[in-house]
Amino acid sequence: MKGMQFYIKWKFPLFVGVVLSVFYLNLFENRAYVELDATVTQTSWFTLFWAADGEPYSRWREVRIRMNPKQQKYHFYATDLRGVDRLRIDTHDYKGRAVVRKIKISQKGYQSLEYRTRKDFSSLTPLFQIGTFLAEDKGLTIESTGIDPQLQLQLVLEKGESRIGDITTQLGFIFCAVFLFFFLTEDYRHETTFIPLFFAASLSLIVVMAAITKENVHPDEYVHLDGGEYYKSNWLPPVVDNPAIHHTYSVYGVSRLNSPEVAYFFIGKFAQFLSNFKLTDLISLRMFNVLLFGGLLLYLLKIPTARIMAAPLLISPQIWYVFSYCNSDAFALFVSFLVSCQVALPDSLLNKFLLETREKKNVFVVLLLGILFSLLFLLKKNYIFFTAFIVGYVLWKALFQVEQSVRKQYLKRITVVILIGISFASVRLSADYVVNGWDRNEKLELIREELADPLYKPSTPLEKQHSFLYRRARGDTLGKIIVVDRWFEKIYRSTFGMYGYFTAAGTEAYYNSLRPVGVALFALLFLAVLFRGGIPGKLLFIIFLGGAGALVAASLYHAWTMDFQTQGRYLFPIFPMTSVILFHFRDLMQNALYKLLLTAMFLLSVYSFVFVALRQLPTM
């Protein structure tokens, strides 16, 4: 009987131990580890392909690392070399010189392959676009004739010492760690307990990132800083062709001050307040976003029911990243999450107002809700899809969850809130035309033509513009964007852990570890809806898939027809959409497995933020 009770209590830790052991064996024990010592003359990609006998090389069987002229030593995991016949090494992706001093390939249980002398390098075979191939004891010098120089290595593995003892010890350590973790965290297993702790940990990482990283090592931070700096001393939008703001225009000939986003106003005014504390301009302009994430933590501490909805904000380090430097994405996420909580939580201020049957109304509450909803119209353009999802959700809720006796009141009052929000937003939008006149749009086109870099000027002939622009007009098919340029893979990586100007990227092992965990988490949600959601639940999930799918499709279409971008933050509106869905279907999901997958996503995100972002981005 005691044995059965022990099994019931500890069967899940046993399962977790088995799963982690399998992951360990496949991700670390049975994979090659590559150490590279090389020098490039410009930022580049080093790519390693592998293929079995008779098998062609493929982009689905590769690992890539980012190289820069200031760094020489790199290391990364590749694939399981058992069954691999040959390797293809693409040393750089520009026309010019690269020097490789050492390549060492190790896989546990086999003898290492090391290339660092003239004799070693002579076993590499040049394939394409290699003009100079000079193997010396001090290194291998390659002068490429194109942007895709290729070397080939015929692979022969020889058995090494047996690792049975080491593997047994390591797996034993994994099981002990899992059981100890479950024993010590017995009182912290519910979301209402551990999610605030996760948020506190994330906030500490955000503070460190904001405090130590250099200016403009983050995406487009220079234009965000200029936008916030303007509003430190101004209240109205600027005249678009005022020479005093020319420095705020990007290479595209566009200034953030000319967008309807209200985030820069708050960034600037908060930075002005912090000037009393003698902080640097850089830190003071970054602190508003840090404050927003701290506000989310306080909100969760005050409103326990919102903690379940906050889980999607913990599954990607990219979310925390946007709160650590000056930008407008953090404000958009903050507002959209608050709106999600207001429309979904039964005890929220909004739902109390919509469903309260007393005649007396609190005008202050109505105005406060109107201001919150007005911000939806003053966010980045991609949040239009979130707003559309919220409209669909409100209609679904009125149909399936609001009693018929108060349904008319519910729709009437939510309409009033939205109209008040539109009215407040119109004041901000009108201010641009008050300052610039009705020909504002024409002025914007003229200033863009004047200040844009030649590669981005509208008047520049298509063939002389940047190669990332107008891919469809250049003859590229949508299939090429997806298959050859791997848009989906790149957008996935930049949604879950690529930092700076794509200069700090994780290893293949990280992305390949995160992917199955994320897929399993989504599958768990999908299956819960499919088998337990009922007709209303399935309809809500279709609304969610429609909103998320439309956003992905719009981003892909923009990359094809306008500007080839793989910025994961463009898809961030999906996270607050997911918060709403999670609130309705969390209780239908398998409890232990959900928390395990969520914790795994969080821990992988922490790893990426600490060992990739904080480690690789330049510090002050």
Give 364's contacts (C-beta < 8 A, 6+ positions apart): none
- The helix or strand, by DSSP H or E, that contains position 177, with its residue range, turns out to be helix 164-184
Q: In Å, how far from its chain's centre is CA 253?
A: 26
pLDDT for the residue 278: 80
Edge-to-edge order in the sheet of strand 150-154: 62-67, 44-51, 86-90, 150-154, 125-128
Decide if 383 contacts 433 (C-beta within 8 A).
Answer: no
Decide if 253 contacts 457 (C-beta within 8 A).
Answer: yes
Do 412 and 301 belong to one domain? yes
The answer to whether position 41 is within a domain reads yes
CA distances from 282 to 91, 286, 504 (A): 37, 6, 21
- Asked whether residue 23 carries a pLDDT value surpassing 90, the answer given is no
Query: How far is residue 352's CA from residue 32's CA, in Å, rounded to a whole number?
Result: 58
Decide if 145 contacts 131 (C-beta within 8 A).
Answer: yes
Query: How far is residue 483's CA from residue 59's CA, in Å, rounded to a whole number?
Result: 9
pLDDT band at 187, cuts 50/70/90? low
Which of 154, 179, 211 is the endpoint of a domain?
A: 154
Query: How far is residue 133's CA from residue 231's CA, in Å, rounded to a whole number?
Result: 56
Decide if 178 contacts 16 (C-beta within 8 A).
Answer: yes
Could you list the beta-strand ranges (E) of 364-494. Answer: none
pLDDT band at 579, cuts 50/70/90? very high
Do 117 and 231 belong to one domain? no
- Asked whether residue 423 carries a pLDDT value surpassing 90, the answer given is yes
CA distances from 202 to 195, 290, 406 (A): 10, 11, 41
Residue 43 phi/psi, 5° resolution?
-55, 135
The three-state secondary structure class of 71 is coil
pLDDT for the residue 116: 87
pLDDT for the residue 266: 95
Angle at 483 between CA 124 and CA 486, to 5 degrees: 75
The answer to whether position 195 is within a domain reads no
Q: For residues 8 and 73, which has the higher predicted lDDT (pLDDT)?
A: 73
Query: How far is residue 327's CA from residue 329's CA, in Å, rounded to a whole number?
Result: 6
- As given in the structure block, the two tokens for residue 418 are 């939205």
Q: What is the mean pLDDT of residues 15-38?
A: 82
Q: What is the mean pLDDT of residues 399-420?
A: 92
pLDDT band at 1, cuts 50/70/90? very low
The answer to whether position 611 is within a domain reads no
Q: What domain range includes position 67?
A: 33-154
The answer to whether position 292 is within a domain reads yes
Least confident interval from 172-186, 316-330, 442-456, 457-471? 172-186
The answer to whether position 470 is within a domain reads no
Do 295 and 433 belong to one domain? yes
Task: Give the burial class of 3: count Cβ atoms within 10 A of its Cβ; 0-12 exposed, 13-18 middle, 19 or more buried.
Answer: exposed
pLDDT for the residue 326: 95
Q: What is the DSSP letter of 375?
A: G
Q: Which residue has the tokens 């149909």?
A: 399
The answer to whether position 592 is within a domain reads no
Decide if 286 contacts 206 (C-beta within 8 A).
Answer: no
Do 223 and 127 belong to one domain? no
Cα dihedral value 433, 437, 442, 448, nearest 10: -70
Decide if 227 contacts 279 (C-beta within 8 A).
Answer: no
DSSP assignments along 573-604, one per residue? THHHHHHHHHHHHGGGS-HHHHHHHHHHHHHH
For the chain, the average pLDDT equals 89
Do 107 and 230 belong to one domain? no
The three-state secondary structure class of 361 is coil
The answer to whether position 21 is within a domain reads no
- Asked whether residue 162 carries a pLDDT value surpassing 70, the answer given is yes
pLDDT for the residue 379: 94
pLDDT band at 175, cuts 50/70/90? confident
- Asked whether residue 438 carries a pLDDT value surpassing 60, the answer given is yes
pLDDT for the residue 209: 95
Q: What is the mean pLDDT of residues 476-501?
A: 91
pLDDT for the residue 534: 92
pLDDT for the residue 311: 95
Q: For residues 163 and 430, which has the higher predicted lDDT (pLDDT)?
A: 430
Which of 446, 479, 505 is the endpoint of a domain?
A: 446
What total of structural domains would you count in the chain?
2
- Asked whether residue 81 carries a pLDDT value surpassing 70, the answer given is yes
- Asked whether residue 281 carries a pLDDT value surpassing 50, the answer given is yes
Q: What is the mean pLDDT of residues 396-422?
A: 92
- Asked whether residue 271 carries a pLDDT value surpassing 50, the answer given is yes
pLDDT for the residue 597: 92
Could you list the beta-strand ranges (E) of 455-611. Answer: 498-499, 504-505
Which is nearest to 324 in space by CA: 476, 421, 217? 217
Do 271 and 380 belong to one domain? yes
User: Does the pTM exceed 0.75?
Assistant: yes
CA distances from 447 to 9, 244, 441, 469, 620 (A): 68, 13, 10, 20, 34
Do 430 and 311 belong to one domain? yes
Q: What is the mean pLDDT of residues 213-217?
A: 91
What sign for the dihedral angle of Cα 504, 508, 509, 515?
A: positive
pLDDT band at 359, cuts 50/70/90? low
Which of 446, 479, 499 is the endpoint of a domain?
A: 446
Do 139 and 263 belong to one domain? no
Q: Which residue has the tokens 């005691």?
A: 2
Do 288 and 418 belong to one domain? yes
Q: Which residue has the tokens 């955000």?
A: 206
pLDDT band at 182, cuts 50/70/90? confident
Share of the chain above pLDDT 90, in %: 53
The answer to whether position 82 is within a domain reads yes
pLDDT band at 24, cuts 50/70/90? confident
Give the count of beta carbons closer than 10 Å to the beta carbon of residue 71.
12
Q: What is the mean pLDDT of residues 580-589?
A: 94
Q: What is the mean pLDDT of residues 543-564?
A: 95
Residue 67 phi/psi, 5° resolution?
-115, 150
Least confident interval from 160-164, 325-329, 341-345, 522-526? 160-164
Task: Give the burial class of 434: count Cβ atoms within 10 A of its Cβ; 0-12 exposed, 13-18 middle, 19 or more buried.
Answer: exposed
pLDDT digits (tens, 9 = 90+) for 102-143: 999 988 888 888 888 888 888 888 988 998 888 888 889 999
pLDDT band at 557, cuts 50/70/90? very high
Q: What is the mean pLDDT of residues 258-263?
A: 92
pLDDT band at 10, cuts 50/70/90? low
